[in-house]
């Protein structure tokens, strides 16, 4: 089998200890995905597996054998940025930029979760379609920390794209 | 991290077979707790048996309840239409736990099997811990114990169980289905986790070689239910106190009530004594506070967590008032 990473087949590592994060950065040199806490607390390493956001630091690469991984490199490019990337620039959704790839990967999956009508902890009616609000975005993005404190710009950027998509 | 082999199990029975023959093997679900503890050197398996793809089905049971495969992701439980409509306290509890990324990874079986843990347990280099290294002492007692247990703790260990999902499942009378080399059996979720006693390293009633297959929810019986989590930051933090509760009213009396607390003990704490105090009685603030007092009578607070007695009382009273009141 193979891991499909941004559309390219990659052989799983022979050593089962290699995390998906280390496979991406150290072996494939896809350094867009960042190492933050390396213990599941910060979200900087967020990537998509079969379209769902996960933490690559707590995922062993062998666990995603046969599945599709999308990193920030596969989400957009300089010539064709993802709408979230454009919105982050417009709204100053970062300062140092270290958490940004994780924020954008997480936000792209979060938009899909909202489109699917999935509730969050702050959704009042669990059976109804969730609204697109600051409160909802803040709760849904709580797994991604920004130590520069750019959260207001981050929420503004995501809110703009979410309203364009879902409304 | 020590060298480790990896294999995907074809069935829970196969996984149980491997586990019963090799005490250094560990079942791997989403890995959100196990991989972290392996990296810290606290868990040192030589063999990982991946059971995260065995059975993730969530289906209605013949008894009118819901059978949730052990490999089902936490996020899939919270997203399921039947859970959202008929077991709202469970959907809300799952959504209160961890982050969206972690919920996408973590399995239901793994949520039950995550270690009961505190920061001292995780600090292998700097702290004594009877759970990590039996007989060495506990630095949490006399240390920073804001997050620790006030019910059911022992002189050996005061760690609290971190799960939100299990608290709702305890209130819902969920049943854990397990497979093992001696065959299949069921364990009530309220009996699944152990209190620390003098063996804080022994956290569940599973015997060596047993594997969780599914969690079964009985048919929904409570008219209204809720889950409320109180924590130091608004999201992505463990509970200081949480309450899962369901109420059915008959006129102005409490006909049926189920309550479980999170954040107070080494296991999800089903409040049977509070339920008995409330059943058949009036739904008044005084009754709610009195019921909490009955349940918390044996609590042993420490300097860092004594506030949990009041916090649990007030959180329970607020949730019950919401459930028994007219406003939805």
Work out the burial of residue A51: count CB atoms within 10 Å of its CB; fewer than 13 is exposed, 13-18 middle, 19 or more buried.
exposed
Pick among A59, A109, A143 to test the B interface (most B CBs inside 10 A): A143
Residues B160 and B114: their CA atoms lie apart, in Å, by 12
**Given an 8 Å threshold on Cβ–Cβ distance, is A63 in contact with B79?**
no
Rounded distance, CA A67 to CA A119, Å? 26
For residues B205 and B192, is the Cβ–Cβ distance under 8 A? yes
- Give the nearest chain A residue to B32 (CA atoms): A58
Q: Are B199 and B41 in contact (CB under 8 A)?
A: no
Question: Which chain A residue has its CA at the smallest distance from B29's CA?
Answer: A63
DSSP assignment of A101-167, as one string? HHHHHHHHHHHHHHHTT---TT-S-TTSPPP--HHHHHHHTTT---TT--HHHHHHHHHHHHHHHH-
List per-block mean pLDDT (blocks of 10 residues) for chain B, which spans 328 residues. Answer: 96 95 96 98 97 97 97 98 97 98 98 98 97 97 98 98 98 98 95 98 96 98 96 97 97 96 98 98 98 98 98 98 79
Measured distance CA(A62)–CA(A51) in Å, rounded: 18
Taking every pair of Cα atoms in chain B, the longest distance, rounded to a whole number of angstroms, is: 63
Q: Where does A83-166 sit in CATH, by number?
A: 1.10.150.120
pLDDT tens for each residue of A104-163: 999 999 999 999 999 999 999 999 988 899 999 999 999 999 999 999 999 999 999 999
Tell me which residue has tokens 């463990």: B238
Contact A40 B75 (CB under 8 A): no
B85, A127: Cβ pair inside 8 Å? Answer: yes
Q: What's the CA gap between B25 and B281, in Å, rounded? A: 51
- ipTM score above 0.95: yes
Range A3-75: architecture per CATH: Roll (3.10)
Q: Would the pTM of this model clear 0.95, i.e. be above it?
A: yes
Alpha carbon distance B232, B111 (integer Å): 22
Question: Is residue A28 within 8 Å of residue A5, measured between CB atoms?
Answer: yes
Residue intervals of chain A classified under CATH 3.10.20.30 are 3-75
Record: contact A55-B79, CB cut-off 8 A? no
Give per-residue burial for A14-35: e unless 16+ CB within 10 Å, then b.
eebbbbbbbbbbeebebebbbb
Contact B234 A139 (CB under 8 A): yes
Domains of chain B from N-terminus onward: 5-52 (3.30.43.10), 224-324 (3.30.390.50)
Q: Check CB contact of A17 with chain B, cutoff 8 Å.
A: yes
Band of the pLDDT at A165, cuts 50, 70, 90? confident
pLDDT at B328: 43
Residue B55 to residue B77: CA distance in whole angstroms = 13
Q: Which residues of A touch B235 (CB under 8 A)?
A: 121, 138-139, 142
Dihedral angle, C-alpha A116, A117, A121, A127, nearest 10 °? -140
Max CA pair span of chain A: 47
> Who wins on pLDDT, A166 or A64?
A64
Distance (Å) from the alpha carbon of A78 to chain B's nearest alpha carbon: 26
Residue in B211, B213, B174 with CA at minimum distance from that of residue B191: B174
Chain A residues whose beta carbon lies within 8 Å of the beta carbon of residue B124 = none
Q: Check CB contact under 8 Å for A142 and B50.
A: no
Taking only residues 117 to 146 of chain A, the set having a beta carbon closer than 8 angstroms to any beta carbon of chain B reads 118-121, 126-127, 138-140, 142-144
Gap from B251 CA to chain A (nearest CA, Å): 25
What is the spatial distance between Cα B91 and Cα B110, in angstroms, rounded to a whole number?
A: 17
Chain A hits for B84, Cβ within 8 Å: 119, 126-127
pLDDT, position B325: 87
**Cβ pair A38:B39 closer than 8 A:** yes
**How distant is the Cα of A55 from the closest Cα of chain B, in angstroms?**
6
Span A12-17, mean pLDDT? 98
Chain A environment of B5 (Cβ under 8 Å): 16
Block residue for tokens 């996984």: B15
Shortest alpha-carbon distance between residue B32 and chain A (Å): 6
| pLDDT at residue B182, rounded to an integer | 86
Give the other-Cβ count within 10 Å of B79's Cβ.
20
Distances (CA, A) of B124 to A66, A100, B43, B121: 35, 32, 11, 7
Buried/exposed B294-309: b ≥16 CB within 10 Å, e otherwise: ebbeebebbebbeebb
List the 64-103 stretch of A: residues with Cβ below 8 A of B: none
In chain A, CATH 1.10.150.120 sits at: 83-166
Q: Does A109 touch chain B (CB under 8 A)?
A: yes
């Amino acid at each position: 089998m193979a891991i499909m990473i941004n559309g390219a087949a990659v052989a799983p590592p022979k050593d089962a200890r290699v995390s998906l994060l280390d496979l991406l950065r150290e072996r494939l040199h896809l350094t867009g995905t960042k190492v933050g806490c390396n213990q599941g607390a910060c979200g900087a390493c967020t990537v998509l597996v079969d379209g769902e956001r996960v933490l690559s630091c707590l995922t062993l690469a062998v666990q995603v054998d046969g599945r599709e991984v999308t990193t920030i490199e596969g989400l957009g490019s300089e010539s064709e940025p993802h709408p979230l990337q454009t919105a982050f620039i417009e709204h100053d959704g970062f300062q140092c930029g270290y958490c940004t790839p994780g924020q954008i990967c997480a936000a792209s999956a979060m938009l899909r979760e909202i489109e699917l009508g999935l509730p969050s902890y702050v959704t009042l009616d669990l059976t109804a379609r969730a609204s697109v609000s600051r409160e909802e975005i803040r709760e849904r993005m709580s797994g991604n920390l920004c130590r520069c404190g750019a959260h207001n710009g981050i929420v503004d950027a995501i809110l703009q794209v979410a309203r364009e998509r879902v409304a | 991290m020590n060298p480790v082999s990896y294999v995907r199990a074809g069935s829970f029975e196969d996984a149980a077979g491997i586990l019963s023959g090799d005490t250094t093997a560990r079942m791997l679900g989403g890995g959100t707790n196990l991989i972290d503890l392996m990296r810290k050197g606290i868990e040192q398996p030589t063999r990982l048996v991946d059971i995260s793809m065995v059975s993730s089905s969530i289906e209605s049971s013949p008894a009118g309840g819901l059978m949730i495969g052990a490999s089902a992701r936490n996020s899939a439980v919270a997203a399921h239409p039947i859970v959202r409509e008929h077991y709202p306290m469970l959907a809300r509890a799952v959504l209160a736990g961890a982050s969206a990324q972690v919920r996408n990874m973590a399995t239901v079986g793994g949520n039950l099997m995550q270690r009961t843990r505190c920061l001292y347990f995780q600090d292998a280099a700097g702290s004594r811990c009877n759970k990590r290294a039996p007989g060495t002492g506990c630095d949490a007692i006399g240390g920073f114990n804001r997050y620790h247990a006030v019910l059911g703790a022992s002189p050996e260990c005061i760690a609290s169980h971190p799960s939100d999902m299990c608290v709702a499942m305890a209130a819902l009378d969920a049943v854990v289905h397990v497979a093992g080399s001696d065959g299949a059996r069921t364990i009530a979720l309220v009996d699944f986790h152990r209190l620390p006693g003098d063996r804080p390293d022994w956290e569940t009633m599973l015997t060596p070689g047993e594997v969780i297959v599914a969690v079964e929810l009985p048919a929904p019986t409570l008219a209204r239910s809720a889950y409320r989590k109180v924590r130091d930051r608004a999201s992505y933090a463990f509970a200081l106190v949480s309450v899962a509760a369901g109420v059915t009213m008959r006129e102005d009396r409490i006909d049926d009530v189920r309550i479980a607390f999170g954040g107070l003990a080494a296991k999800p704490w089903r409040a049977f004594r509070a339920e008995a105090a409330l059943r058949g009685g009036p739904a008044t603030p005084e009754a709610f506070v009195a019921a909490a007092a009955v349940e918390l009578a044996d609590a042993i607070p420490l300097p860092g967590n004594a506030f949990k007695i009041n916090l649990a009382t007030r959180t329970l009273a607020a949730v019950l008032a919401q459930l028994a009141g007219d406003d939805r």
